[in-house]
Amino acid sequence: MGVMDSKVALVTGAAAGIGRATALAFAAEGASVALVDSEEQRGALVADEIREAGGRALFIPADVSQADLANAMVGATMSRFGRLDFAFNNAGIEGDPGPIELCSDQNWDRTLAVNLTGVFLCMRAEIPAIRDSGGQGAIVNCASIAGLNGFPGLAAYVASKHGVNGLTRSAALELAADGIRVNSVCPGAIETEMIQRIKVEQPELIERTVAAHPLGRLGQPEEIAACVIWLCSAGAGFVTGQAIAVDGGYTTQ
């Protein structure tokens, strides 16, 4: 028996990395999990992994930047599981690096559409479902240390992640009376497929990145997942409107 046996969680960007680790963590706690991703084959495999371990999972293909698809993912979750208690709005993209004056309209628009508008659209669909399920639920949005600090060459990404933290704070105040808590998690450099690519292409950049984190290593997706699970737990029942850095000490400098 898990502490979340009667609960339902929705995770976007669930096909890999932090999203996959968090979907597996929710399932390990006993929750039914709706997994959302635009990568259908990989997302379905994660759902299969949960079911093979004895859990309950539903995979929903969706681009979270599309309002109709964000609405449909919540509708599918409610149809299958009958309720929604927790949401981890994690789907995001890096965008193209480069100085502001070379940032294309397409790069700006797409980065903001997925990283910020996508979180807004998901929350707008999730909130009524959580409220209708009895409230006392929790939403966690995935921001970044780039939502707390500036980084040269990543203007669109940084702007989008600062926006996620602002949206989180506003939503926390709106929903406090309903007993729905809203927080964001702000990862530092985490060992994901993106980092693996950079390790091959720019090993010296990874060395500098690790050195910039006081703990002297990259974080693991499971460490972010553990923070998300805690933020959704009764143990975090007095925590709302916070942007929690899980960054090996990076933002303390």
CATH number of the domain at 13, please.
3.40.50.720
Alpha-carbon gap, residue 93 to 79, rounded angstroms: 29
Tell whether 155 is covered by a domain.
yes
Determine how many CB atoms are found less than 10 A away from the CB of residue 180: 22
Do 104 and 111 meet the contact criterion of CB atoms below 8 Å apart?
no
Task: Quote the domain boundaries for residue 234.
Answer: 8-189+220-246
Using the predicted structure, report yes or no on whether residue 197 has a pLDDT greater than 70.
Answer: yes
- 112: tokens are 């903001």
Q: Is residue 149 part of a domain?
A: yes
Residue 240 counted as domain residue = yes
Sheet holding 181-187, edge to edge: 57-61, 32-37, 8-12, 86-89, 138-142, 181-187, 243-246
Per-residue pLDDT, averaged over 243-251, amounts to 97
Q: Which residues contact 97 (CB under 8 A, 6 or more apart)?
A: 153, 154
What is the pLDDT confidence band of residue 11, given thresholds at 50, 70 and 90? Answer: very high
Predicted pLDDT at 195: 83
Q: What is the pTM of this model?
A: 0.96
Percentage of residues of the chain with pLDDT beyond 70: 100
Asked if the structure places residue 133 within a domain, the reply is: yes
* Distance between CA atoms of residues 35 and 88, nearest Å: 10
| Active-site annotation holds for 250 | no
Q: Kindly name the residue from 26, 120, 157, 250 that is annotated as catalytic.
A: 157
In which element (H, E) is residue 203 found? Answer: helix 203-212
State pLDDT tens for residues 101-143: 999 999 999 999 999 999 999 999 999 999 999 878 999 999 9
In this prediction, residue 199 has a pLDDT band, given cuts at 50, 70 and 90, of confident
Do strands 138-142 and 181-187 pair parallel, antiparallel, or not at all (unpaired)? parallel
Number of domains in the chain: 1
pLDDT tens figures, 44-100: 999 999 999 999 999 999 999 999 999 999 999 999 999 999 999 999 999 999 999
State the average pLDDT over residues 172-199: 92
Q: What is the pLDDT of residue 1?
A: 59
Mean pLDDT on 218-231: 98
